[in-house]
Structure 1
Amino acid sequence: MKTKKQKVVLAITIIATLLVLAIGLFFIFRNSLLQKAITKVSAKMETEYDSKFSIKSASFEGFSGIALENILIVPKNADTLLKVQSVKTNVSFWKLLTGDVQLGTLYVKNGFVQLVKNEKGRNFDAFLKKDTLQDTTNVDVNYAQKAYRMLNQALNLVPTDMDLENVSLKMDDMGRKVKLDLKKLRLVDKELETSIGVTADNFKQTWKIKGFADPRNKKTDLRFFNADTGKIQIPYIDERYNLKAGFDSIRLNIKNIEMDGNELHIDGTSSLANFTVNHPKISTKDVVIKKANFDYNFVFGEDFIAIDSSSTVTLNKMKFSPYVFYQKTKEDKNQIYALKVKIPKMKAQDFIVSLPEGLFTNFEGMEAEGNFSYNLEFLYNKNKPRELVFDSNFKKENLKIIKYGEANLNKLNSSFTYRAIINGIRQRAVEVSPSNSNFTPLGEISPYLRKAVLTSEDPSFFSHRGFINEAFKQSIIKNIKTKRFSRGASTISMQLIKNVFLTREKTLSRKLEEILLVYILENNRISSKERMLEVYFNIIEWGPNVYGIGEASLFYFGKHPSHLTLNESLFLASIVPRPRSFAWQFDGQARLKDTYIKRNHYIADLMLRRGLLEAQDTLQKQFPVEIIGPARSFIKLQPLDSLVLDKIEIDEEFDF
């Protein structure tokens, strides 16, 4: 009778014998198995990817080395996708037994990957995952496990020792060509260095990558810079998207990739020096970020992805903590988006000099005293959109503007010359001063018009500080639902800043400047609300080449603004958003169309409910809007029809 210990020893001996036998059989037949594997891959390429895959020769070298010669992938009726003369690699045998492929060494000589798009299509379409177009809304995804698995698979394919010689990546997108040539790339003893020759249609450069790379311990510290003089230019996107971008250097440091329970943490830092970007939707000038640094902590959970608040962003002299969160709950398939930004107390002047050059041109040269801090909180629940949270909190400490840049906000308090800019062209000069006979002080503008414009454009103008949080919330909700910027939240303060100090260009730069200038104007009490409204009425466009309410009142009704009736005021208020399209509101007999009459009645009733009108004022709603000024010539008048003419003749004959 064998003892328990003897049984264990026997079991271990049997397992070891079987393992040795399996390994022995594998080594005996491994070349045959390799050929079968290649044949299987070739058949799969033919049936699933409609491509020809071939390897001229393949064999094992040593214990775990593999040598491949003349590898070729050619999609049917398309350009060659991959061609490599020689590949030698070493695979971890023990990892292979567990189902993982982990490369130990990799040597590649003379090869290329070629991505082509032409009138026949793309030569890589068959290799794109077919399930990417499928709806995955109702599929449960464990973000932590998926990200960790993908990272492990990717890092296992990065060898500990690597030597690539004369390998290139070619791109041809409808004639837009880019080529990246790696003459020599070496990774030895965790030190990586390579030079990349970049050839595009409009420039040629040599890039350098140098630093530390340890794929097995999931750590790296690489620096990417230009071996030549000048910035690194990013190819292809300038021709494809009209986006020009470049930088002096990029540093990418990954300190830690760790699975902690059900959460994946990726920690590290990245930095950017002298990043330059130019695009018509961003700014009319080059936007330059001299120095940026991002100390990041990415967190992947079972049902969420986040940038943790322990992360910090440094932009020149400005430092802030971001928090970004996305969650897709399994129970109700809900989606939650959150954003928090915290700028701790900092000097106002440090903030001004930290703004990217070219993005805030009106702030260049501005000087300020004092300190400020800022907190932004945003939360959106897809299942409860009306509970959206948008909270912006700005705290100042002895904040004072001591010198303005190009946009001198004090200009609003004195006489100045205004020139509208339309399609980049400056319009005629309009004097905002008593020397202009059409200039109308606020007190001489009909109360009906003042109240009608405020009701339709900005009801809380006299109580808010430039922005209306609730309007922003509704704008965000609308834009998220439509998946585009279909609604704004512009106040009279914002319109005033845009008209007086900025252009009408639709760029990110102009919008950001508008927001900051409005905040400075409103929260430093640079100009009174009454003066702001007075300037607004005297500069905005009211029709084709019609600026200011003095000109508008004469243009439409041949009278002074103080004599405008309720209906006339309601009409003028209605054309503020689109003043050049006023003629569409009238029919062929110069009568206001029913749709616009109803709209004006609605505004009048709203003014009545808010106590801005008396009951007797609304009796004026029955009177028609009669255009008697030069504006009448812009309305397409139609001759009276024959029925009307017949009726006139009958009336005259019988003298009714």
Structure 2
Amino acid sequence: MRAWGSARKWPAPRAYLPVSRVNPKAKKIVLWTLGALAVLLLVGLGVFLLKREQLLRYALGQAKQKIERRYPVTLTLGPARFTDLNSVQIDGIALVPKGSADTLLTARSVNASISLRSLFARRPVFSNLQIVRARLTAHKTEAGADNYGFLLKKRGQAAVARDTTQGTNYGLLANQLLEAGFDNLPDEADFRDFLVTYDSPRHQARLTMPQLTIDDGDLAGELAVVLDSVSNRIGLRGHVEPGDYEAQVEVYGQNRRPVLVPYVQRRYGARVQFDTLRLSLTGKEMDDENLTVRGAASAANFAVNHPKLATADIKVRRGGLDFVATLGRNHASLDKGSVIRLNRMELYPQLSVRLRPEIKRINPDPRMPTAKPYTGKLAGLEVAVKVESAETKTNDFFASLPEGVFDVLQGVQGTGTLQYRMSAALDMTRIDSLQFDSGLKKSADFSITRFGQVDLRKLNTEFPYTAYNDKGDSVKTFLVGPSNPDFVPFDQVSNYLKYAIVTAEDPRFFTHKGFMEKAFVKSAIQNIKEKRFARGGSTLSMQLVKNVFLTREKVVARKIEEALIVWIIENNRLVSKQRMMEVYLNIIEWGPSRYRWPNGERGVYGVGEAAQFYYGKEPRNLNLQESLYLASIIPKPKYARYSFDAYGDLRRSTRYFFRLIADIMAARGYIPQDEADNLSRSVSLTGPARQFMSFAARPDTTRTTAVADSSQFEPINLIDLLNTGGASPDEGVNTTAPRQDEEPAQGDKKGKDGGK
């Protein structure tokens, strides 16, 4: 037994033989093996180098057959060669549709990578496609023949029928376009100096791409586009998943220049532009006939300019749409779930558009078999729209309004919330069926704390007013208030005149909130029928706002701004009805602008000047006949000179107006019935107006069809709404609680003084 701590003897280390002493036989085997492998590799490489050209020709032949089986085309390939181990270059290609001598696509060279494994397996797979100096030339003839239509449908798929008795299925058509675009998109490609041209009897397009790359679904490139003389230089980036029909694409202007949208400028005369546009498609569903697509679109600095919309650009700094859209046979819709984002505001739209092609071939009114069929361009069009906004903070609401539409209201601030709603429906075959409803709902704590460019409360104070002529030139400026010797207070105007104007122009002025929707709808119907602003739908409140705060242009933007200003004034009771009527009576045009007063001023503006110009008397002394005549010429003061015939008597249309308005005034208690029954149909002009009258014979017209004075009001023309068809004279009026404290006392309406 070894004692503890005694030294231990460890075995000696094992000695290793030096390499030089390895078995020579083993060394020889290793060397021969390595050599054999090297020889095999060299032989394989030699065989590949000798056969790869043959395999390449085979691979290209397979690709050619695949394309020609899929499409009715002839594909011609130029000489091909390997540029390195697995890179191929083809010197020239051409794609010609069968049955046509027109070449659709050419390219100077095509470079690609080919999988060696797939090449030996005789199933060639190309990648990293690079096309240099490609030219895609598409065209369409007047007869409808083209050299590209085969790309828009899958193999064996029939074209979508158009202009048939059943109409076009827009769902199938859109589905074909989507699938053609996604299915023909390569996984990887690099286009260099790519030129696309399109020529048809209606459109010409030229698209130049210095470079466009597609890498595993990622898109990036630059484009120069000329379409119908509209030029753009744009950048493109995004991502596409062809198998899932999903895409996100961003289009933006280069060199800090906006992108102009083509076609709409040529077709509708409108300029539409944006700085950046983002489009996304998140999926599609196709049943037997209907296509449903989901996605989103948003734009930065979106702007629209059209002379009928506004005099300046209508701009939206940030706007977008999340859409759920359905397309089918003769119809398209924006469905529930869609959201419009307008700066800080959200709106929820629903839209349906349907076209009934059979309407073009039938008589729309079976009671009139001899009438001509309705054959207008919009025959059979049916449109229904509904929009409702989220409850929005007042400051966000006004900050979200588009620029160029609400100039007077820019900068308005307040408390509480606002919520907008609108619905409309129109059948172009039955235009009289137009339905329209619109409203702005305020919360209980809503109020205006700061006004914008103009303080709307200025109507309560003395202010300068400038009158303009038809050309937009100022005629004269005068104060509306006691400092003006021609100013006439409300209680110094004959009640005859007050109620004649209210009855003819706005019968619920003293009780409504600024709007009469039925009158607006009737005006819209007439404007649609005549395809022009033939008739206005303005209440006295709207006429006053237009003349005091806005320009004279007949554009949609001005009408929308006018409505919102009226809503603010009326719903917040910023100005009393009596003061509004007082200002109205003192600023409206009532005669020829070329007339000069002794003090050198031109034109006839306000009730004081009108009473002197026509009758040489004060407004409080006007009688019923004189008041009716003044009321009759308000919508068209420049046509007042044609009110008389060659014998100096009132024309038939004006006499009819006298009788109708007087009867309504009596029915409403404004004048005694016997005064209406004994009404004289003549007017004696005792002022300077007589020298301006035309007593020559000319055809008579009716008040409702005469051309309205373009520089003055767009009258409601409520004659056809009052006491007709058994309806209430005030039917369809947007009313509030009567404000009779602002209306002349009931005792002043009748009496021995004749309503003075």
Give me the TM-score of the superposition, normalised by structure 2.
0.66
- The aligned residue for residue 10 of structure 1 is none
> How far is the alpha carbon of 1:471 from its aligned partner?
1.8
464, 467, 472: which one pairs with 1:424?
472
| Structure holding more helix per residue | 1
- The aligned residue for residue 258 of structure 2 is 231
- The aligned residue for residue 567 of structure 2 is 519
> How far is the alpha carbon of 1:242 from its aligned partner?
6.6
73, 85, 94: which one pairs with 1:69?
94
Q: Which segment drifts farther, 522-531 or 380-389?
A: 380-389
- 8 Å contact from structure 2 (residues 513, 571) kept in 1: yes
Higher RCO (CA 8 Å, separation ≥ 6 residues): 2
For residues 539-567 of structure 1, the C-alpha deviation after alignment (integer angstroms, 9 at most, x for no partner) is 11111211101101111111111122222
2:529 pairs with 1:471: no
Q: Which segment drifts farther, 556-565 or 582-591?
A: 582-591
Written as runs of structure 1 = structure 2, the 5 A alignment for 1:4-403 is 57=76, 68-69=93-94, 84-85=106-107, 109-110=132-133, 124-127=141-144, 136=163, 138-169=165-196, 180-197=207-224, 206-233=233-260, 243-259=270-286, 263-301=290-328, 304-327=331-354, 336-380=382-426, 388-397=434-443, 398-403=445-450
- The aligned residue for residue 659 of structure 2 is 601
Residues 595, 359 of structure 1: CA spacing in aligned structure 2 closer, same or farther, 3 A cutoff?
closer
- 8 Å contact from structure 1 (residues 590, 627) kept in 2: no
> How far is the alpha carbon of 1:611 from its aligned partner?
3.4
> How far is the alpha carbon of 1:365 from its aligned partner?
2.2
CA distance in 1, matches of 2:630, 2:428: 39
CA distance in 2, matches of 1:614, 1:264: 66
- 8 Å contact from structure 1 (residues 205, 228) kept in 2: no
Residues 157, 584 of structure 1: CA spacing in aligned structure 2 closer, same or farther, 3 A cutoff?
farther
- 8 Å contact from structure 1 (residues 34, 59) kept in 2: no
CA distance in 2, matches of 1:330, 1:180: 36
- 8 Å contact from structure 2 (residues 345, 390) kept in 1: no
> How far is the alpha carbon of 1:440 from its aligned partner?
1.4
448, 454, 458: which one pairs with 1:411?
458
Written as runs of structure 1 = structure 2, the 5 A alignment for 1:473-492 is 473-482=521-530, 485-492=533-540
Structure 1 portions without partners, runs of 5+: 1-26, 42-54, 91-102, 116-121, 640-656
- The aligned residue for residue 460 of structure 1 is 508
Residues 210, 374 of structure 1: CA spacing in aligned structure 2 closer, same or farther, 3 A cutoff?
same
CA distance in 1, matches of 2:430, 2:267: 39
**Amino acid in structure 2 at the alignment position of 1:69:** A
Partner secondary structure for residue 553 of structure 1: helix
What RMSD, in angstroms, separates the aligned Cα atoms of the two structures?
4.4
**Amino acid in structure 1 at the alignment position of 2:519:** A
Q: Which segment drifts farther, 212-221 or 498-507?
A: 212-221
- 8 Å contact from structure 1 (residues 367, 404) kept in 2: yes
Written as runs of structure 1 = structure 2, the 5 A alignment for 1:627-642 is 627-637=685-695
2:550 pairs with 1:502: yes
CA distance in 1, matches of 2:260, 2:279: 18
For residues 215-245 of structure 1, the C-alpha deviation after alignment (integer angstroms, 9 at most, x for no partner) is 3321110111133234345578779977554
Residues 155, 600 of structure 1: CA spacing in aligned structure 2 closer, same or farther, 3 A cutoff?
farther
534, 541, 547: which one pairs with 2:589?
541
> How far is the alpha carbon of 1:413 from its aligned partner?
0.9
> How far is the alpha carbon of 1:600 from its aligned partner?
2.4
Residues 393, 587 of structure 1: CA spacing in aligned structure 2 closer, same or farther, 3 A cutoff?
closer
Q: Which segment drifts farther, 483-492 or 385-394?
A: 385-394
Structure 2 portions without partners, runs of 5+: 1-60, 82-89, 113-125, 147-160, 363-379, 593-602, 698-756
Residues 477, 636 of structure 1: CA spacing in aligned structure 2 closer, same or farther, 3 A cutoff?
closer
- 8 Å contact from structure 1 (residues 293, 314) kept in 2: yes
- 8 Å contact from structure 1 (residues 177, 236) kept in 2: no
> How far is the alpha carbon of 1:289 from its aligned partner?
1.4
Partner secondary structure for residue 412 of structure 1: helix
Partner secondary structure for residue 294 of structure 1: strand
Aligned length: 571
Partner secondary structure for residue 362 of structure 1: coil
Partner secondary structure for residue 296 of structure 1: strand
> How far is the alpha carbon of 1:466 from its aligned partner?
0.9
**Amino acid in structure 2 at the alignment position of 1:492:** L
Which entry has the higher C-alpha Rg, 1 or 2?
Answer: 2
**Amino acid in structure 2 at the alignment position of 1:367:** Q
> How far is the alpha carbon of 1:152 from its aligned partner?
2.6
